[in-house]
Amino acid sequence: MSLRSFFVLFLGIGSFSAFSQPGKKTITLEADGQPIINFETSSHDFGTITEGTKATYEFKFTNTGKAPLILTDVKPPCSCTTPDWPKDPIEPGKSAVIKVTFDSKGKPGTFSKTIAVYHNGESGTDYITIKGFVGT
């Protein structure tokens, strides 16, 4: 009998004997919990702003889960939108903000920018949106 055959046989017997013993209890392991990102609002309308203005809004969120929340990346759709976000873990029950700045220089008209928020929470990705109108 080869060593490989021996291990296959041994694992098969071990698995079988675990199921065949009366009175054994099944143990279910549960994770400690997941972080959950909960935004106060996921959209902000700046209304009408003057061209050349750098408009900023802070999206407040809370970790309503049971494990530290880590924002791994915050991606804007273009270079005219700049996010600033916490790099340290947000503990359960704690709040923080993602600051989003829109540079309206050379961007007249209606705008709508959706920013992807990547994290280790339940959904893995959430989205926040800024919108408005750039007047001249």
Query: Average pLDDT of each block of 10 consecutive residues along the chain (136 residues)?
Result: 42 40 48 88 98 97 97 97 98 98 97 98 95 95
* Start-to-end CA span in the chain (Å): 85
Q: What is the pLDDT of residue 39?
A: 98
Q: What is the pLDDT of residue 136?
A: 84
Q: What is the pLDDT of residue 122?
A: 85
Q: How far apart are CA 135 and CA 48, in angstroms?
A: 6
Q: What is the pLDDT of residue 10?
A: 38
Give SS3 for 132: strand
Pick from 99, 93, 112: nearest CA to 37: 93
Q: What is the pLDDT of residue 38?
A: 97
Q: Which helix (H) or strand (E) holds 124?
A: none
Q: For 7-49, give the DSSP string.
A: HHHHHHHHHHHHHH-TTPPP-----S----EEES-SEEEEEEE
Q: Which CATH superfamily is domain 37-135 in?
A: Immunoglobulins (2.60.40.10)
Give SS3 for 127: strand
Q: What is the pLDDT of residue 31?
A: 53
Farthest CA pair distance, the chain: 85
Determine whether 37 is exposed, middle or buried from the number of CB atoms within 10 Å of its CB (0-12, 13-18, 19+). Answer: buried
